[in-house]
Amino acid sequence: MCISQLELLIPTRYWKLNCFVGIHKPNTMKKFLICFSLIAFLFCSCQKSNSPKNTIDPIELRIDSLLDQMSVVEKIGQLALRGRSSRGEDALPEELLESVRKGEIGAFLNVMDTTHMRQLQHAARFESSHGIPLLFARDVIHGFKTIFPIPLGLAASWNPGMVEESSRIAALEASSVGIRWTFAPMLDICQDSRWGRIAESPGEDPYLAGELARAYVKGFQGDDLAAPTSMAACAKHFIGYGAAIGGRDYNTAIISHELLYNLYLPPFQASVQEGVASFMSSFNEVNGIPVTGSRKLLTNILREKMGFDGFVVSDWNSVIEMIAHGVAEDEEAAAQLAATAGLDMEMTSTAYEDFLEKLIKEGLVSEDQLDFYVRNILRAKFRLDLFDHPFIPSDHPGTFYAAPSLQLAKEAAIESSVLLKNDRLLPVRKSAKILLTGPLADKGREQLGTWTFDGEEEPSVTPREAIESADFFEGLSFSRDKDFSKITKVVDAARFADVIVYVGGEEAILSGEAHSRADIRLPGAQEACLKELAKTGKPILLVIMAGRPINISNLIDQVDAVLMMWHPGTMGGPALHDMLYGLAEPGGRLPVSWPKMAGQLPYFYNHKPTGRPATAESFVSINDIPVGAWQSSLGNESHYLDAGYEPLFPFGYGLSYSTFSYKDVMLSKNTLQEGEKVEVSVTLVNEGTFDSQEVVQLYVHDRTGRITRPVRQLKRFQKVKLNKGTMQKIHFTLHYDDFKYYDNEGKFDIEPGKVDIYVGGHSSASDKQTILIQ
């Protein structure tokens, strides 16, 4: 019994060599004494009691052993994440290997040459003083080789199971080349489609984002983090990155206490509950303090209140960027801010390496704090089983582009696609003569979307390749193409078609980090091309591939159907083929509100009512104001004269090829007290002629609170498949605590009063019942 504990406690290289046959070698006597002491300690522990209460965590004891042996400089080395170019790699410098041997580096980003990886790992594990393995990281965001829809697209699936499976495949493929840490999932709530990184976001709702957070962590980390097919997940960007003013990347975030706890923190809390291994601090400031230097956020909230026990890594250079923020005079001050805030690991910049030893000697940062950081990082490496299995196993089961993976990627693209309009066009008959056109109809690389460093164009199947029977005429050759001469040729080709399928949107580079847009209309000459095609009188299917909702207000009445595919990934073409011909139907629902124009942004369904909420009865449009009208406050409500008060499409919206109705929303009780629950039921009827699926959504509205409350809040959802002409009773359970919320004083509670409960197919659903909270 004690021997088995000892084998876990002491690293294999000490157990088999140093403790027994290596004490005659230089520098091994100390290791022998440590091993002997541990044996004695463990023997005494075993003699004292076998009760679970006295069980020793072998990982923590191994960490204690290492910390006792490490110098301050070696400890600081564990805090160093060194970056390599994401484009590729040069030869491995000998100086880099020597730094690893000296224990000056703890992890690497973007090392993709497996020979280099093995050299570096060998140097760390078998040529350094303490044999601490390296951790190799990569941005594996929505697939490694097999690329799935962008995260905003996966959020549109409203299918956490699909998200978990896609993340499992990403981990399987990436770990096969030694990547054991990914910088995903991104859990930033975003309410502004101008922001480039909305493409990576789970959307605007904290409940949906929380369900997806759990799925991502389960998928990446698997059932056992020690398995060679698992990757440590990283919840990012903590916190408020998606709240950037104006949707401009890296910009300031101003977040009240109630919004922080009710809106932005819940998906991160869900990831902690699921056991996420790491967090990433965000670039931005929150209320005047950059997150990377905020003890309130990184320690008081993340560690103490949320209970996170993993490690926190900075974003790229965000430690030294606190100088530009204006809160650190130089890199030494930046290192002190980050170290006292609660940042475990520094990505790419070297402020810790250059100044942390000095700061410790001067008493400005304690060595106990350093030990805490090293302990968190070592714990992750032990949990990943990197000490005993530092290399890629020869029998690793990961395979790129495996048939089941490609099938799931196709299903994910279908599940994520949102049908926004369908004026009796889809599905089309198989015999229809189709003109396939548009700048993204045959762009395998572009349909992969942002953050696909390892995705490849050749295995990616485009609409042109998948819809072989269509006549193809590209026209505009890229999304920003302004060559109007190409439009005439497309229009000429359209005259011989029964249906026009236009695949447009944004190239992948137009969304993602640092790629915010003030104007979110279709770029280039795409609008002009579609308007000319509309003049032919031929029915048009507009397929959008983009990293954000696109302003199509000027086009919506000129096309017959609109299908939002986001950037669908490797199997976007086959997915479109099946949806086009009715072999499958779009299964997505919007995870964000779709604005009429950028001037409405930020826009979100869960807004506050204001003292003058807009209504259809009192709204006054800019076109309805009489010339020479008296200078009065027409309408007297919160709206835009030229855009109204509603989005083009609400959160949760999406059509199917069938028609659903909701009947008999019922509650199991009319009052609710502390500790109780209420059952909510509704009858869903498929009244159409297709077997179909619907996302049944439940929202609540607290009529009167101690602070103002959102007009709607998503609390539950179910994705339901229902045969044509059938009905099904859908059940939800709400607990008393589901109605509680945080106020600006930090109080989490619900006061007595009425709460409306809505059930329907999107956030504007009107079927409701009311419950009295007592």
* pTM of the shown model: 0.93
Among 334, 244, 338, which Cα is nearest to 284's? Answer: 244
Q: Can you give the pLDDT at residue 85?
A: 73
Q: What is the pLDDT of residues 445-504, one digit of tens each?
A: 999 999 999 999 999 999 999 999 999 999 999 999 999 999 999 999 999 999 999 999
Q: Can you give the pLDDT at residue 89?
A: 66
Q: Can you give the pLDDT at residue 618?
A: 85
Q: Can you give the pLDDT at residue 449?
A: 98
Q: Can you give the pLDDT at residue 108?
A: 98
Among 8, 18, 5, 35, which Cα is nearest to 129's? Answer: 18
Decide: 612 and 176 in contact? Cβ < 8 Å.
no
**Residues designated as active site:** 315
Residue 608 is given by DSSP the state -
Which residues is 551 bridged to in the sheet? 521
Q: Is the pLDDT reported for residue 21 higher than 60?
A: no
When computed from its CA atoms, the radius of gyration of the chain, rounded to whole angstroms, is: 28
Q: Can you give the pLDDT at residue 54?
A: 54
Mean of per-residue pLDDT scores for the chain: 93
Vertex 715: Cα angle to 712 and 721 (nearest 5): 110
Q: Give the three-class secondary structure for 197.
A: helix
Average pLDDT over residues 439-446: 98
Among 232, 228, 312, 224, which Cα is nearest to 276's? Answer: 232
Of 1-5, 132-136, 641-645, 686-690, give the lowest mean pLDDT range: 1-5
Q: Can you give the pLDDT at residue 757?
A: 98
Q: Is the pLDDT reported for residue 403 higher than 80?
A: yes
Measured CA distances, 481 to 438, 487, 515, 525, 563 (Å): 11, 11, 18, 6, 22
Of 60-69, 553-562, 620-629, give the lowest mean pLDDT range: 620-629
Q: How far apart are CA 154 and CA 184, in angstroms?
A: 13
Q: Can you give the pLDDT at residue 545?
A: 98
Average pLDDT over residues 723-750: 98
* Residue 312, φ and ψ in degrees, nearest 5: -110, 125
Average pLDDT over residues 716-732: 98
Decide: 352 and 346 in contact? Cβ < 8 Å.
yes
Average pLDDT over residues 568-573: 98
* Residue 685, φ and ψ in degrees, nearest 5: -120, 125
Q: Is the pLDDT reported for residue 86 higher than 90?
A: no
* Residue 134, φ and ψ in degrees, nearest 5: -85, 160
Q: What is the pLDDT of residues 292-331, one digit of tens each?
A: 999 999 999 999 999 999 999 999 999 999 999 999 999 9
Q: Is the pLDDT reported for residue 531 higher than 60?
A: yes
Q: Is the pLDDT reported for residue 13 higher than 50?
A: no
* Residue 125, φ and ψ in degrees, nearest 5: -85, -35
Q: Can you give the pLDDT at residue 26?
A: 37
Q: Is the pLDDT reported for residue 39 higher than 70?
A: no
Q: Give the three-class secondary structure for 124.
A: helix
Provide the residue type at 766 as one letter. Answer: S
Decide: 235 and 209 in contact? Cβ < 8 Å.
no
Average pLDDT over residues 521-533: 98
Percentage of residues of the chain with pLDDT beyond 70: 92
Q: How confident is the model at residue 633 (pLDDT cuts 50, 70, 90)?
A: confident
Decide: 264 and 189 in contact? Cβ < 8 Å.
yes
Among 169, 585, 649, which Cα is nearest to 409's? Answer: 169
Q: Is the pLDDT reported for residue 3 higher than 80?
A: no
What would the two tokens of residue 603 be? 């826009």
Q: What is the pLDDT of residues 221-259, one digit of tens each?
A: 999 999 999 999 999 999 999 999 999 999 999 999 999
Question: Cα-Cα-Cα-Cα dihedral of 423, 426, 428, 434, to 10°?
Answer: 80
DSSP 243-261: G-GGG-TT--B---HHHII
Q: Can you give the pLDDT at residue 636?
A: 79
Answer whether the bond into residue 602 is a cis peptide, omega within 30°: yes
Q: Can you give the pLDDT at residue 368?
A: 98
Q: How far apart are CA 414 and CA 422, in angstroms?
A: 16
Q: How confident is the model at residue 630 (pLDDT cuts 50, 70, 90)?
A: confident
Q: Can you give the pLDDT at residue 186?
A: 98
Q: Can you give the pLDDT at residue 402?
A: 98
Strands 753-760 and 692-702: antiparallel
Q: How far apart are CA 152 and CA 129, in angstroms?
A: 45
Cα dihedral 378, 380, 383, 384 sign: negative
Place of tokens 């999107």: 762
Q: Can you give the pLDDT at residue 25?
A: 38
Q: How far apart are CA 425 and CA 538, in angstroms?
A: 11
Q: How far apart are CA 188 and CA 251, in angstroms?
A: 14
Q: How far apart are CA 475 and CA 112, in angstroms?
A: 38
Q: Can you give the pLDDT at residue 90?
A: 73
